[in-house]
Amino acid sequence: MGVEYKPGSSKAYLVFGFLMFWLFLSVLHALIILIFNGPDYLLVVRFFSLEFGYLSAKVYFLFSASVTSFFFGVFLYYLARDIKRDTSHRLFEMIKDVVKNSEKHVKDYVEGEFGQISMDQYELSKEFKAFKESAFKNMEKMETY
């Protein structure tokens, strides 16, 4: 299932990809700290040189995993939405072509059948006319006897 390249949406995927890369790195970091230091290990929460407090390794892992899974779900939602839009557009065009071809096929078939029916009606009317004429001739002959 190929997806067309869309220049407008590539920037959003690039940003999401970069964000997902850093979030997966944070989950990997939390997992390594959790495995090697244990669940009760306390991490110092820092932002640049400011210290905000301590966080246990298991809370750090659960928080980073939940944030990463949330953004991964958002990323997959947008990806599936774009694929669905592209696929539904192609599916609509394909169905439109199938309907046009079927309409042409049915039209040709019906015109051929009705053309045959009109020819059959013409032939039948000629035969009825000939039968009527022969019936009148036979009636005239019977009247003369």
Boundaries of every domain in the chain: 8-144
Burial class (CB in 10 A: 0-12, 13-18, 19+), 13: middle
Helix or strand holding residue 117 (H, E): helix 57-144
Stated pTM of the model: 0.51
Is pLDDT above 60 for 7?
no
Token pair, residue 137, equals 């001739």
Token pair, residue 13, equals 């995927």
Q: What is the dihedral of CA 113, 119, 121, 125, to 10 degrees?
A: 180
User: Which has more pLDDT, 23 or 7?
Assistant: 23
- Is the separation of the CB atoms in 24 and 68 below 8 Å? yes
54: amino acid identity, one letter: Y
What CA–CA distance (Å, rounded) separates 122 from 64? 85
Residue range 18-77, pLDDT digits in tens: 888 999 999 999 999 989 988 888 887 777 777 778 888 889 899 999 999 999 888 888
